[in-house]
């Protein structure tokens, strides 16, 4: 049972480039989300999904796109990378309903935009 | 989801109890109090949650005031490995997944 898996772990991008951060979970969780964490700051919600085909915006969605074609995968796309998007990105998932108490996080993806 | 207020940082001596406060004065009747922690740059880790009653597990205890407007996470015998950022979150147990994390409390456990 791998839990929440994020790839890549480290990435350096040039301004204007696009890329996709991958997130997969093998726990059959309905809910998945992406957070970013800037140095010394808390987590900020980018986008989230309550099931396949359903996504919604979080606190800081601008510059990012998501899709949820399967229950397992929730990729985060940076359309045109900017230095302000330099951050650590965490993917998370949890089970739906009243039994979905615990949020499980991936190990993070460190992104630097130069 | 209701907002929470936590002190930005706290110190605790190793072996002593660490008491981390959280204010959530606008909490709704169906919202639970959750605590997570983040060690260094790892992904946050679930600690404990509760609705009205005090809760205890192998990691910590959670004390919720009778009016539910505040709570305290207690680490009974803090160790150096408990140095981390602790997040207090309030949210409903069902429905959407728009879980908002604040800045948390940075706990320093000192030898």
| Contact in structure between B107 and B85 (CB atoms under 8 Å) | yes
| Contact in structure between A66 and A49 (CB atoms under 8 Å) | yes
Q: What is the dihedral of CA B107, B63, A98, A33, to 10 degrees?
A: -20
Mean pLDDT of B44-59: 92
Say how many CB pairs under 8 Å bridge A and B. 61
Q: Which of A11, A14, A5, A55 is nearest to A33 (CA)?
A: A55
Question: Cβ separation of B101 and A35 shorter than 8 Å?
Answer: yes
pLDDT of residue B94: 60
Name A99's Cβ contacts closer than 8 Å, sequence gap at least 6. Answer: none
Residue of B nearest to A32 (CA): B97
| Six-digit token string for A28 | 């059959």
Question: Cβ separation of B102 and A90 shorter than 8 Å?
Answer: no
Q: What is the 3-state secondary structure (H, E, C) of B77-107?
A: CCCHHHCEEEEEEEEECCCCCCCCCCCCEEE
CA distance A85 to A74: 19
Question: Cβ separation of A108 and B49 shorter than 8 Å?
Answer: no
B8 touches chain A (CB under 8 A): no
B53 touches chain A (CB under 8 A): no
Q: What is the dihedral of CA B49, B31, A31, B97, to 10 degrees?
A: -130
Mean pLDDT of B38-54: 90
Tell me the per-residue pLDDT of B69-108, one tens digit each, with 9 for 90 and over.
Answer: 999 999 999 999 999 999 999 887 665 566 778 889 999 9
Q: What is the CB-side half-sphere exposure of residue B55 using CA atoms within 13 A?
A: 17
Best of A5, A27, A42 to disrupt the B interface (most B CBs within 10 Å) is A42
Best of B49, B101, B104 to disrupt the A interface (most A CBs within 10 Å) is B101
Higher pLDDT, A100 or A66: A66
Tell me the per-residue pLDDT of A17-26, one tens digit each, with 9 for 90 and over.
Answer: 999 999 999 9
pLDDT of residue A1: 61
Q: For the purposes of burial, counting CB atoms within 10 Å of the CB of A3, is it exposed (0-12), middle (13-18) or buried (19 or more)?
A: middle
B35 touches chain A (CB under 8 A): no
């Amino acid at each position: 049972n791998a839990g929440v898996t994020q790839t890549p772990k480290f990435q350096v991008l040039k301004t204007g480039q696009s890329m996709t951060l991958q997130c997969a979970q093998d726990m059959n969780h309905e809910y998945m989300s992406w957070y970013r964490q800037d140095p010394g700051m808390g987590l900020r919600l980018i986008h989230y999904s309550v099931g396949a085909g359903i996504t919604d915006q979080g606190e800081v969605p601008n510059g990012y796109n998501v899709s949820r074609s399967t229950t397992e995968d929730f990729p985060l796309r940076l359309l045109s990378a900017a230095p302000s998007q330099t951050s650590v990105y965490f993917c998370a998932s949890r089970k739906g309903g009243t039994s979905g108490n615990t949020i499980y996080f991936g190990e993070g993806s460190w992104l630097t935009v130069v | 989801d209701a907002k929470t207020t936590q002190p930005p940082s706290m110190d605790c001596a190793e072996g002593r109890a660490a008491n981390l406060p959280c204010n959530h004065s606008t909490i709704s009747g169906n919202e639970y109090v959750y605590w997570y922690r983040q060690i260094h740059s790892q992904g946050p880790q679930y600690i404990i949650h509760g609705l009205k009653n005090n809760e205890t597990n192998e990691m910590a205890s959670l004390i919720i005031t009778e009016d539910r407007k505040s709570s305290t996470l207690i680490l009974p015998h803090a160790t150096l490995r408990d140095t981390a950022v602790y997040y207090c979150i309030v949210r409903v147990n069902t429905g959407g997944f728009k879980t908002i994390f604040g800045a948390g409390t940075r706990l320093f456990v000192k030898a």
